[in-house]
């Protein structure tokens, strides 16, 4: 099997662009001709990485064995948080807000945002704090240290296996599911962008019209053509 058969066209273009960039940086070339190359867009498979509500419920109910792991999954799905954001949470980040709460999140690109916590999830947060608060971090290891992201990823893989969910699922699948389900329930696109911490609304727009269970074809009457 040749190298061309092992890598995608997109990867090949990226390698070439990187090579030309390196040549310019080292002074071997004066013009980066690789900058004129356009990277082919990969097929969008976001819909394949979205769990339905019953799958999320099964993952949280049957996949985890303790309150810590359950709350982490709830925050990733219920608030759309990244795994890095969840493990970095401290108790001082949480504040009461109406019947629920809000949490200050230190996100991607060193950007800070405030995420609203619905009342049903706020109850879970306060209940967990009552019995499990040890130090400043919300989620800690057995040694009372800050939770490591790799531990969370392993936990999710095991939870998927226990609950019969696709074992490719990850923490980000829960974030994808949050975005998709929120839009389906009527969430405003700009509000979702703000909640997820996307720098551009274009990123958030990927979640529009990706449900494999609905399509414009369902509104076409074909009986008259038979």
Q: How far apart are the first and last CA of the chain?
A: 48
Distance CA 172, CA 20 (A): 33
Q: In terms of residues, how long is the chain?
A: 226
Q: Is 175 a catalytic residue?
A: yes
CA 141 to chain centre: 22
Q: Is 190 a catalytic residue?
A: no
CA-based nearest residue to 113, from 207, 38, 189, 199? 199
- The active-site residue, picked from 68, 108, 153, 206, is 108
Q: Is 108 a catalytic residue?
A: yes
- The active-site residue, picked from 149, 153, 172, 206, is 172
- The active-site residue, picked from 17, 175, 176, 181, is 175
Q: Is 96 a catalytic residue?
A: no
- The active-site residue, picked from 17, 49, 70, 82, is 82
Distance CA 80, CA 171 (A): 10
Q: Tokens for 40, please give them.
A: 């082919």
Q: Tokens for 61, please give them.
A: 């109910």
> Is the distance from CB of 51 to CB of 169 less than 8 angstroms?
yes
Distance CA 138, CA 88 (A): 8
Q: Is 198 a catalytic residue?
A: yes
Neighbours of 197 (CB within 10 A): 20
Distance CA 14, CA 113 (A): 32
Q: Is 176 a catalytic residue?
A: no
> Is the distance from CB of 101 to CB of 111 less than 8 angstroms?
no
CA-based nearest residue to 7, from 46, 38, 42? 42
- The active-site residue, picked from 149, 162, 198, 206, is 198
Active site residues: 82, 108, 172, 175, 198, 207
């Amino acid at each position: 099997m040749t190298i061309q058969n092992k890598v995608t066209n997109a990867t090949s273009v990226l390698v070439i662009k990187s090579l030309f960039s390196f040549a310019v940086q080292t002074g071997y070339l004066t013009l980066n001709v690789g900058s004129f190359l356009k990277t082919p867009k990969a097929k969008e498979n976001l819909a394949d990485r979205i769990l339905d509500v019953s799958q999320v419920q099964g993952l949280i109910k049957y996949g985890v064995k303790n309150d810590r792991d359950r709350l982490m999954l709830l925050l990733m799905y219920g608030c759309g948080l990244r795994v890095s954001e969840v493990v970095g949470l401290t108790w001082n980040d949480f504040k009461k807000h109406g019947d629920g709460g809000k949490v200050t999140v230190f996100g991607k690109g060193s950007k800070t945002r405030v995420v609203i916590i619905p009342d049903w999830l706020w109850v879970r947060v306060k209940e967990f704090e009552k019995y499990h608060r040890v130090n400043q971090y919300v989620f800690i290891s057995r040694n009372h240290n800050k939770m490591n992201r790799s531990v969370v990823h392993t936990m999710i893989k095991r939870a998927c296996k226990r609950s019969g969910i696709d074992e490719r699922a990850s923490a980000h699948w829960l974030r994808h599911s949050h975005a998709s389900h929120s839009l389906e329930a009527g969430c405003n696109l700009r509000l979702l962008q703000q909640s997820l911490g996307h720098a551009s609304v274009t990123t958030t727009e990927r979640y529009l019209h990706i449900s494999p269970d609905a399509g414009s074809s369902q509104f076409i009457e074909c009986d008259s053509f038979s």
